[in-house]
Structure 1
Amino acid sequence: MADIHPVGTHRKIGSLLVHPLALGGNVFGWTADEKQSFAVLDAYAEAGGNFIDTADVYSAWVPGNEGGESETIIGNWLAARGNRDEIVVATKVGNGVPTYRGLAKNVIRADVEASLRRLRTDCIDLYYTHVDDESVPVEEIITTLNELVEEGKVREIGASNITADRLDKSLTYSDAAGLAKYVAIQPHYSLVSRDTYEGELAKVSAAHGLAAIPYFALASGFLTGKYRPGTKVDSARAGSAAVHLESERGLRVLTALDEVAAAHDAELATVALAWLAAQPTVATPLASARTVDQLPPLLAVADLKLTEAELARLTEASA
């Protein structure tokens, strides 16, 4: 069972000990080139961060990219800094370019080798199924992932973008067969996207002791507070973030974040992440930084503890 209780300032996810902020690598090779990415990674590590999240598909959506650019940059950084043993690396399978799409055994086996090469390592610390493939029985998926664990190519396994039913079946099969079991789930979850995790998916996660590492934790930047009515933000994610300005909930959440942030002299992003970190099953939120200047408010989540009244205020505003 995953233990998400704090160990000092860190959290346990299966056998892994991780920083309270997981650093997203989706921007590496997209809005941050290798030099910028190295600067962000250096600053994160210097601040005590050790949990880096990426995927085989990052960032295939960029013209000229093939996917794997983020893994390559992270692998180059690990090799250049000689700090592989100090960093917990998470990557994913199943949502890649056509060659590596789906979760059939041959796809997983080929994709893990490609990720290992790009990351320049012999073992992935946390390996997620990125998008569930319902055409493949959970028994085949779990058995294949278990082989990777037994071979030492993967330490722990997790799931993302999966239904509660398929997750429960996967976990139940692992228990019954005595095979490797998901210890983590990476759901879409934030103050403006609660029903994407809360409910049956969260119940299954809690029942099996999974640690949640939510993605889109800052709603593509909306929860940083830089998107306001009448403002224009030059960002690759502006469209995804600004949509929340059109909803009453989005505006309510901004108002509540402003109030709580002012009480702590904190950034809105820090408060949004602190609310998330306080939710049941959540071990550490996931957020990315394109520049070093964007990191401090994210890292500050490790030191911000909201009161019960503040948590309730944010929960009510985001209902």
Structure 2
Amino acid sequence: MKHIHIKGLEKPVSKLVMGSDFFRLNNPHEVSEILGHYLAIGGNTIDSAFIYCGGESEQAIGIWLDEMGNRDEMNIFTKGAHHNEHGPRVNAEAIRSDLFTSLERLRTDYIDLYALHRDDLATPVGAIVEALNEHVEAGRIRAFGGSNWTHERLQEANAYAEKHGLIGFTFSSPNLSLAKANEPFWAGCVSVDEQALRWYEAQQFPLLSWSSQARGFFSGRFSPEISDNADIVRVFYSDENWTRLQRAQQLAQEKGVSTIQIALAYVVSQPFPACALIGPRSEAEMQSCRDGAELVLTAQELAWLDLSAAIV
């Protein structure tokens, strides 16, 4: 499998990152089986978060790492400082509390990739950068980034870090998919738009995309006549996205692959370091993701799929 490099990490990050929002303590066999399939295709990075499954996702990963004895071979990507019922929690105290809990659950003394799950525009970026630097210096995290941070806030944070001789954000995890979101899937989520794409390319800033396949929009399960999934309808149903789907279907037929593999290839073929978070639940789905990630789309194909070019 292809990889990208993220500043602060010794190990490269596989282009496909395994999602774990279905990992629980009552399905250890499924967790082990799926992660086995993931290792078999060359994956080395597992995504989780403090809030996933009430903490069971991180716990399940920690148990698996212990059983396999392969902690040093894997990149662990987890997130913290998500808001709660009282509001935003992007502050030094919440970051420290969530991080220490995640370390305990994951049965490790360091996190390879640590991201702030949300942003809080009311909190100055300087205080956030300083808090995260404390944990890098202590060896608790190797690299930090923002999940659902705009590129403007990332740029602001890194300008502060450079001015004060600190480590800055070295990766980002927003939503990037061929289907463009009409509105956030969840409150506070950030999807990459055209302006952001130009920034990521100019900066060559690593991006780890969640919902990289638009939550199954390209799987064949959806059409303008099917409206039984209110969230998919709300977020992805648009004339432009139906055109993108049709173009993906056409290109898939020409290349002899599936439409959803074209959608995955769209993410990992971007002209900057990009990875796709995936959530396959079977060996066949895992192999489909592997094959999709091996596809290389040209700049002209990317533009055509994204309606920026009339012909491919």
Which bin holds the TM-score, normalised by the shorter protein? 0.7 to 0.9
**Quick one: higher RCO (CA 8 Å, sep 6+), 1 or 2?**
1
| 1:9, distance to aligned residue in structure 2 (A) | 2.5
For residues 159 and 308 of structure 1, do their structure 2 counterparts lie closer, same or farther at Cα, with a shift above 3 Å needed?
A: closer
The alignment status of 1:37 with 2:37, answered yes or no, reads: no
Question: Does the 8 Å CA contact 1:99/1:107 hold for their aligned counterparts?
Answer: no
| 1:49, distance to aligned residue in structure 2 (A) | 0.5
Report the equivalent of 2:247.
256
Q: Secondary structure at the match of 2:270?
A: coil
* Aligned mates of 1:306, 1:114 — CA distance in 2: 41
- Quick check: 204-213 or 175-184, which moved more? 204-213
* Aligned mates of 2:194, 2:23 — CA distance in 1: 33
Report the equivalent of 1:154.
141
Q: Let me know the Cα RMSD of the aligned residues.
A: 2.7
For residues 114 and 192 of structure 1, do their structure 2 counterparts lie closer, same or farther at Cα, with a shift above 3 Å needed?
A: same
| 1:37, distance to aligned residue in structure 2 (A) | 2.1
Q: 1:273 is aligned with what amino acid?
A: L
Report the equivalent of 1:279.
270
Fraction of identical pairs, as percent? 32
Question: Does the 8 Å CA contact 2:264/2:293 hold for their aligned counterparts?
Answer: no
Question: Does the 8 Å CA contact 1:185/1:212 hold for their aligned counterparts?
Answer: yes
User: Structure 1: which 5+ runs fail to align?
Assistant: 1-7, 60-66
Q: Secondary structure at the match of 1:68?
A: helix
Report the equivalent of 2:187.
none
Alignment of 1:196-211 (within 5 A): 196-211=191-206
Question: TM-score with structure 2 length normalisation?
Answer: 0.86
* Aligned mates of 1:29, 1:294 — CA distance in 2: 20
Aligned length: 300
- Quick check: 17-26 or 278-287, which moved more? 278-287
Report the equivalent of 1:25.
20
Q: 2:221 is aligned with what amino acid?
A: K
Question: Does the 8 Å CA contact 1:100/1:107 hold for their aligned counterparts?
Answer: no
* Aligned mates of 2:258, 2:296 — CA distance in 1: 13
The alignment status of 1:240 with 2:227, answered yes or no, reads: no
Q: Secondary structure at the match of 2:129?
A: helix
For residues 245 and 97 of structure 1, do their structure 2 counterparts lie closer, same or farther at Cα, with a shift above 3 Å needed?
A: closer
Question: Does the 8 Å CA contact 1:103/1:132 hold for their aligned counterparts?
Answer: yes
Question: Does the 8 Å CA contact 1:27/1:289 hold for their aligned counterparts?
Answer: no
Question: Does the 8 Å CA contact 1:36/1:291 hold for their aligned counterparts?
Answer: no
Alignment of 1:81-230 (within 5 A): 81-95=68-82, 97=84, 102-193=89-180, 196-230=191-225
Q: Secondary structure at the match of 2:139?
A: coil
For residues 299 and 100 of structure 1, do their structure 2 counterparts lie closer, same or farther at Cα, with a shift above 3 Å needed?
A: farther
For residues 100 and 80 of structure 1, do their structure 2 counterparts lie closer, same or farther at Cα, with a shift above 3 Å needed?
A: farther
* Aligned mates of 1:124, 1:227 — CA distance in 2: 38
Report the equivalent of 1:3.
none
Question: TM-score with structure 1 length normalisation?
Answer: 0.84
* Aligned mates of 2:309, 2:263 — CA distance in 1: 11
- Quick check: 132-141 or 42-51, which moved more? 132-141
Report the equivalent of 2:60.
73
* Aligned mates of 1:229, 1:101 — CA distance in 2: 36
Question: Does the 8 Å CA contact 2:261/2:293 hold for their aligned counterparts?
Answer: no
User: Structure 2: which 5+ runs fail to align?
Assistant: 183-190
Q: 2:46 aligns with which of 41, 49, 52?
A: 52
Q: 2:213 is aligned with what amino acid?
A: L
* Aligned mates of 2:84, 2:284 — CA distance in 1: 32
Question: Does the 8 Å CA contact 2:212/2:278 hold for their aligned counterparts?
Answer: yes
* Aligned mates of 1:244, 1:133 — CA distance in 2: 23
* Aligned mates of 2:273, 2:135 — CA distance in 1: 26
* Aligned mates of 1:297, 1:241 — CA distance in 2: 22
* Aligned mates of 1:126, 1:155 — CA distance in 2: 6
The alignment status of 1:297 with 2:288, answered yes or no, reads: yes
Question: Does the 8 Å CA contact 2:227/2:233 hold for their aligned counterparts?
Answer: no
